[in-house]
Amino acid sequence: MSEEHFDVLVVGAGISGIAAGYHLQASCPGRSYAILERREQLGGTWDLFRYPGIRSDSDMYTLGYPFRPWTDPKAIADGPSILEYVNATAAEYGIDRKIRFGHHVKRVSWSTEAARWTVETERTDTGEPRRFHCNFLFMCSGYYDYDEGYTPEFPGADEFRGAIVHPQKWSEEIDYAQKRVVVIGSGATAVTIVPEMAKTAAHVTMLQRSPTYVVAAPAEDRFAIRLRRFLPSRLVHAIIRWRNVILGALFFWFCRRYPERAKAFILGRVRRAMGPDYDVARHFTPRYNPWQQRMCLVPNGDLFDEIKAGRASVVTDEIETFTEHGIRLRSGEELAADLVVSATGLKLQMLGGVEVAVDGKQVDFSKTLTYKGVMFGGVPNMALAVGYTNASWTLKCDLTCEYVCRLLNHMAKRGYAQCCPRPGDGDVEVGPLLDFTSGYIQRSIDSFPKQGAQAPWRSYQNYVLDIWTVAYGSLEDRALEFGRQPSGPLRAEAPTGP
Ligand SMILES: Cc1cc2nc3c(=O)[nH]c(=O)nc-3n(C[C@H](O)[C@H](O)[C@H](O)COP(=O)(O)OP(=O)(O)OC[C@H]3O[C@@H](n4cnc5c(N)ncnc54)[C@H](O)[C@@H]3O)c2cc1C
C-alpha cells in the first residue's frame, strides 16, 4: 500500500475545507497539505442538496468568506450560486489542485511517539485502501451523515401508493408538476421547498407537528447594492458583514433576554404578512421561545405569499397513519397526496463518521470536552471546523482556520511537534455542547462532546467573544500542553470508549 506524508491533512472539501486550504496557503506557506474528500465534487452541503429552491437561510456576507467578497445582488442566495462561489474560490487560489477526491477517511490513529496521525482511507468507487500520515489533522467534515437524512418510522408508509422522498436524496427525475404534494416538517428545508414546489405543483401542504418561528427578510440587500456603486467590493463586503454580525448578535441577545417581547415582535410581523383571518396562533406560534431553536428565514416572505395565493397551506396536526392515497391525521382529516417529502431533518454525525484512536485506544467523543470549540480534551493535534447555531457557519469556521494556522506557526517557532488540550481536575463537564431544543440536536447530542463551565472549555456561540479568545487569544494557556518530538512531556490519555 502506498503511503504519503503531509504536514497537515484536511478532511472535507466543503465551505470549511476550502477555507482551511486558503488559510494554510496564506498563513503557513511552508507547510505541505492535502484535502481528502470522499465525494467526487467539492462544495459539500451545497453540492449534495439538490431539492427545489435550495438556498441559504443566512446572508452571504457572513456565510461567504471574509477574504473573497460576495458580489451577487442576492444576499440570501440559491444553492447553485453558493456552489459556484465555493468552486470559484477553490480555483482562484489553486486549492482545487490540493483535493484528493474519492478518498473516504475511515480511521485515524495518533501516535505520541511518532507525533503523527495515520489516516486510513478507502476509494469511494473501488474500496481500495490507502494510507496517509500527517502531523496535524484538520477535520472539515461537516456535522451530519452524508449517506442518509433522518426519516422517522411512519405508520402505514408501505400502504402509500405515491413516493416518499427525503430532501437529501432528491433527484432531478422527481416530477411534481400538477401533483398534490405533502411536505412533512417545519424547519429550514420545509419552508424553502414549499414555496418553490407550489409554483408548479397542484397544491403543496406543509404538515407540521408544531410550528417554528418564521421571519421574512429581503432577498437582496439594497444598502449593499447602493454601496457597491462607489466603494470597492471588498470594502462593501466587510461593512455589510460587520453590520450583519452586529444586528444578528443583537437580535439573538434580545430574543434570549426578552423572549416575550421578541415573540410578540416576530408574530406581529407574521400577522401583518398573513392578514387578520389567518390562524397565526395555530400555525406560526411555536411552543418554545425565540432562538431556543434555529429560526427560519423566508426571503421576501415567499412562503406567506404562496399560502395567501392558495397554492400552499399549513396543517398543524399529527400523522396517525399513511393510507393508500395520502396521510390520515389524528384529527381525522385526510390529506390526499401523490408525493410526500419528508423534510424531517439530518442525522447528526461527529467527524464524518471517522473512527479516532489515540495511542491505540478508541476515543469516545461523548466523554471529551471541547477546547475553545476547536479542539478536544485528550486528543492531540486535531481541530474541527464547526459553525455557530445562532449565526452563519463560516464566521466560526474562519476563526477556527486562523487559530489552527497561528497554532501551527507557534509550534514551528518553539520546536513543538504536538499539542493537546488537557482538562484539569476542576474542569468538569457541565452540559451538552449545544443548548438548542431542536429535535435533530436532541436525537444525537449525547454522542457529542461536552462543554465545561468556563473558558477555554466553554463554547459561547458568540462571534465577537470568539474573536478575542480564538483568533487573538494567547496560545499558551494552562489547558494546552505542548510536547517535542519524539516524545515530550505530553501524556497520551484520551477519553476512551467502553
Ligand atoms: C440544506 C442546508 C442548508 C444550510 N444553510 C445554511 C445557511 O444558510 N447558513 C449557515 O450558516 N449554515 C447553513 N447550513 C449549515 C451548512 O452545512 C454550513 O453552512 C456549511 O455548508 C458547512 O460546511 P462544511 O464544509 O463545514 O461542511 P459540509 O458542507 O458538510 O462539507 C463537509 C465535506 O466533508 C466531506 N466528508 C465528510 N466526511 C468525510 C470523510 N469521512 N472522509 C472524507 N470526506 C468527508 C463531505 O463529503 C463534504 O464534502 C446548511 C446546511 C444544510 C444541510
| Ligand 1 atom having least distance to the Cα of 106 | 41
With a 6 A CB cut-off, is 345 part of the ligand 1 pocket?
A: no
Q: Which of 45, 169, 434 to mutate to test the pocket of ligand 1 (most atoms within 8 A of CB)?
A: 45
pTM, to two decimals: 0.94
* pLDDT confidence of residue 89: 98
Q: pLDDT by residue (tens digit) across 234-263?
A: 999 999 999 999 999 999 999 999 999 999
With a 6 A CB cut-off, is 11 part of the ligand 1 pocket?
A: yes
With a 6 A CB cut-off, is 102 part of the ligand 1 pocket?
A: no
With a 6 A CB cut-off, is 16 part of the ligand 1 pocket?
A: yes
Q: Closest residue (by CA) to atom 33 of ligand 1?
A: 12
> Judging by beta carbons within 10 Å of its beta carbon (0-12, 13-18, 19+), is residue 147 exposed, middle or buried?
exposed
* Contact by Cβ (8 Å): 314, 208: yes
All three cell numbers of 299: 426571503
Instruction: Identify the CA nearest to 494 among candidates 340, 363, 347.
Output: 363
Measured in Å, residue 347 CA sits from the centre of ligand 1 at 12
Instruction: Identify the CA nearest to 203 among candidates 86, 63, 309, 350.
Output: 309
Measured in Å, residue 443 CA sits from the centre of ligand 1 at 19
Q: Write out the chain's pLDDT in tens, 498 residues.
A: 778 999 999 999 999 999 999 999 999 999 999 999 999 999 999 999 999 999 999 999 999 999 999 999 999 999 999 999 999 999 999 999 999 999 999 999 999 999 999 999 999 999 999 999 999 999 999 999 999 999 999 999 999 999 999 999 999 999 999 999 999 999 999 999 999 999 999 999 999 999 999 999 999 999 999 999 999 999 999 999 999 999 999 999 999 999 999 999 999 999 999 999 999 999 999 999 999 888 999 999 999 999 999 999 999 999 999 999 999 999 999 999 999 999 999 999 999 999 999 999 999 999 999 999 999 999 999 999 999 888 999 999 999 999 999 999 999 999 999 999 999 877 776 777 776 666 777 777 788 898 888 889 988 888 988 998 888 888 999 899 999 876 544 544 555 554
| Ligand 1 atom having least distance to the Cα of 12 | 34
All three cell numbers of 152: 422517522
C-alpha 216/C-alpha 273 separation (Å) is 9
* pLDDT confidence of residue 426: 76
- Pair type for strands 450-452 and 429-432: antiparallel
Measured in Å, residue 13 CA sits from the centre of ligand 1 at 9
Measured in Å, residue 10 CA sits from the centre of ligand 1 at 14
- CA pseudo-torsion sign 397, 291, 253, 264: positive
Q: Closest residue (by CA) to atom 52 of ligand 1?
A: 45
- CA pseudo-torsion sign 263, 269, 270, 272: positive
With a 6 A CB cut-off, is 39 part of the ligand 1 pocket?
A: yes
* pLDDT confidence of residue 2: 74
C-alpha 437/C-alpha 293 separation (Å) is 6
Strand-pair partners of 208: 316
Phi-psi region of 395 (alpha: psi -120 to 50; beta: other; left: phi over 0): alpha
Instruction: Identify the CA nearest to 271 among candidates 236, 235, 237, 301.
Output: 301
* pLDDT confidence of residue 3: 86
| Ligand 1 atom having least distance to the Cα of 103 | 43
- Count of beta carbons in the 10 Å neighbourhood of residue 485: 15
With a 6 A CB cut-off, is 262 part of the ligand 1 pocket?
A: no
* pLDDT confidence of residue 498: 40
C-alpha 184/C-alpha 165 separation (Å) is 10
